Amino acid sequence: DVKVTQSSRYLVKRTGEKVFLECVQDMDHENMFWYRQDPGLGLRLIYFSYDVKMKEKGDIPEGYSVSREKKERFSLILESASTNQTSMYLCASSPLAGGFYNEQFFGPGTRLTVL
């Protein structure tokens, strides 16, 4: 079974703090994704990566950065957390081979609260 794990289920940070959200997948997938989920807005793509050291902006990259130093790990960074970044963050991965019809596999999510 594909497993995507996220470093924390719940996280509380203060405004201005630097926040790291870690995601690890164990199926050797090339593609990895970071989404944020907000009520009524569904899932919105923040960043994604097709390979080590590669990154592409999604629909809402402002205020975020990412790092992919190893194939299995994709980190989301909030350089200076703000209250409007309070949200559920979901990581996902998928294989490159097969393209469009590959499902994405999701982690359990990190619920981040910024005070």
If one counts every other C-beta atom within 10 angstroms of the C-beta of residue 70, the result is 11
Q: Does 27 bind another protein (CB under 8 A)?
A: no
Write out the binding residues for another protein, residues 85-114 only, by CB under 8 A: 90, 92, 94, 96, 99-109, 111
Q: Considering beta carbons, is residue 106 or 113 the nearer one to another protein?
A: 106
Instruction: State how far the Cα of 115 lies from the Cα of 99, in Å rounded to an integer.
Output: 40
> Are 31 and 95 contacting, i.e. CB atoms less than 8 angstroms apart?
yes
**Both structure tokens of 105:** 């596999």
Q: Kindly list the residues in this chain that would bind another protein in the complex (CB under 8 A).
A: 4, 9, 31, 33, 35, 40-45, 48, 50, 56, 58, 90, 92, 94, 96, 99-109, 111
